[in-house]
């Protein structure tokens, strides 16, 4: 048993840039590790989410697996945080929202330049694509948002230290960026 | 005797004929706005500058300053409403800041920063909107248009009337004054005021993006309150 604050992180339809930015807190991660236990996270490679205090979600919702993962996180996380532009408004993957899904798949797997053996992948293990890429708040309730592409390391640090100290998290003007 | 109003309890002098916005700006009081520009006739469409005047809601850019008005501007309630309005603008259009070269110089974004807007709150429309890249020097991306009509007003002053808003509600759109409907067939010149007035990245000058890197742009260093008041006081280069 541990009395450390449990933190889980996950990447949905994102580029892992937000996770990289979290790691950019550099040596402060040692300080953090003294107070925080990272459970399900790409940093730990644990696949299942168990009950935790803070869940950080990177990326938007583009397929059925993302929906499942996000709902599982919502169930297990006391505070769920949307991290970065993709989680908040779909981000760059959102650019496919203006093209019908059939055309997207056609361009990628049937008609695109250099495509060999053209066919739409349909292995049952592959998650089904949604019609659009959705921000996470359109699927589950979100408690806090960290904007940015990615949010700066100091944004993670400010949010986590505020939370650990029992303060309402707040970002000063210079840390709020949408790009 | 000088006539005065009060804004958030502060006494502010005004001259006959000034709007509340003009009197406030002259006194160094920032009222958030997007469709207002000090050089053009007020339009009153974005509603961000809504203030409470003697208990009633009014848009500061269109409402005249009158002796004895007691005005509320920088209150939690008004800023909460302004944040909701800004969020509505974000979800109605397609504002993807990481992919926009106006990022850092964008007034819509800067107002979001000023209002501590961290998310878009509402369901996104994801409405496809057409882009017109036909003009040799100017690009119009309707995804980022917030219908402030500043380009319409500026183009009217340019004597060209290149831009107009057509349709209503969700079907409204920015249109161009040419037989083909394309920007390239209008009279728009890259030096026209209308090509430079857009507060968002809807009207961009080609081949100028990223000349100033992100991080060194207008609103990276200064809040929109500071830049706006600087502008109204004439401390600007263009």
Structure confidence by residue, pLDDT tens digits, B80-105: 999 999 999 999 999 999 999 999 99
Instruction: Return the H-helix or E-strand segment holding A7.
Output: strand A5-11
Inter-chain contact A82–B119, Cβ cutoff 8 Å?
yes
Q: What are A138-179's pLDDT values in tens digits?
A: 999 999 999 999 999 999 999 999 999 999 999 999 999 999
Q: Give CA torsion, residues B87, B90, B93, B96, to 10 deg.
A: -160
Query: What is the model's pLDDT at position B233?
Result: 73
Which residues face B50 on adjacent strands? B59
Residue of B nearest to A150 (CA): B98
Inter-chain contact A89–B96, Cβ cutoff 8 Å?
yes
Closest of A81, A48, A119 to residue B118, by C-alpha: A81
Lowest mean pLDDT among A104-118, A130-144, B129-143, B220-234: B220-234
Neighbours of A160 (CB within 10 A): 22
Q: Answer whether B83's CB lies under 8 Å from B89's CB.
A: no
Instruction: Give the helix, strand, coil percentages of chain B, each rounded to 5.
Output: 30, 15, 55
Query: What is the model's pLDDT at position B53?
Result: 98
CA dihedral for A168, B83, B102, A174, sign (positive or negative) = negative
Interatomic CA distance for residues B71 and B135, integer angstroms: 45
From chain A, the residues in CB contact with B119 under 8 A are: 82, 88, 137, 142, 145, 147
Inter-chain contact B96–A82, Cβ cutoff 8 Å?
no
Residues 6+ apart with CB under 8 A from A134: A60, A61, A62, A90, B124
Interatomic CA distance for residues B223 and B219, integer angstroms: 6
Q: Average pLDDT, whole number, for chain A?
A: 94
Nearest to B98 among A82, A97, A149 (CB): A149
Q: Kindly state the DSSP code that residue A101 receives in the 8-state scheme.
A: H
């Amino acid at each position: 048993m541990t009395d450390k604050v449990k933190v889980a992180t996950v990447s949905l339809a994102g580029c892992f840039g937000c996770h990289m930015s979290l790691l950019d807190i550099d040596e402060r991660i040692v300080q953090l590790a003294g107070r925080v236990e990272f459970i399900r996270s790409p940093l730990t490679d644990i696949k299942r989410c168990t009950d935790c205090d803070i869940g950080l979600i990177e990326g938007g919702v583009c397929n059925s697996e993302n929906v499942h993962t996000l709902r599982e996180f919502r169930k297990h996380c006391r505070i769920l945080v949307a991290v970065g532009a993709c989680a908040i408004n779909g981000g760059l993957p959102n650019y496919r929202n203006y093209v019908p899904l059939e055309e997207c798949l056609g361009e990628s797997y049937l008609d695109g330049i250099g495509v060999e053996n053209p066919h739409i992948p349909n292995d049952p293990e592959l998650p089904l694509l949604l019609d659009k890429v959705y921000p996470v708040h359109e699927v589950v309730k979100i408690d806090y948002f960290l904007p940015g592409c990615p949010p700066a390391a100091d944004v993670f640090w400010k949010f986590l230290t505020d939370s650990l100290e029992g303060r309402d998290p707040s970002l000063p003007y210079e840390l709020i960026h949408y790009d | 005797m000088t006539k005065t109003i009060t804004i958030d309890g502060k006494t502010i002098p005004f001259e006959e004929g000034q709007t509340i916005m003009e009197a406030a700006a002259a006194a160094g009081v920032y009222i958030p706005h997007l469709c207002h520009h000090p050089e053009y006739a007020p339009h009153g469409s974005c509603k961000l500058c809504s203030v409470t005047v003697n208990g009633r809601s009014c848009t500061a850019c269109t409402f005249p300053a009158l002796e004895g008005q007691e005005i509320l501007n920088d209150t939690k309630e008004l800023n909460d409403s302004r944040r909701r309005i800004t969020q509505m603008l974000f979800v109605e259009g397609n504002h993807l800041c990481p992919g926009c070269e106006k990022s850092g110089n964008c007034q819509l974004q800067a107002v979001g920063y000023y209002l501590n807007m961290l998310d878009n709150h509402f369901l996104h429309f994801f409405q496809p909107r057409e882009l017109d890249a036909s003009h040799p020097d100017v690009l119009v991306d309707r995804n980022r248009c917030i219908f402030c009509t500043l380009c319409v007003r500026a183009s009217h002053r340019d004597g060209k009337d290149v831009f107009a808003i057509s349709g209503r509600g969700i079907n409204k759109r920015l249109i161009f004054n040419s037989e083909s409907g394309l920007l390239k067939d209008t009279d728009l010149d890259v030096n026209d005021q209308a090509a430079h007035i857009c507060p968002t990245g809807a009207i961009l000058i080609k081949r100028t993006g990223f000349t100033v890197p992100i991080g060194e742009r207008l609103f990276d260093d200064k809040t929109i309150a500071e830049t706006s008041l600087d502008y109204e006081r004439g401390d600007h280069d263009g």
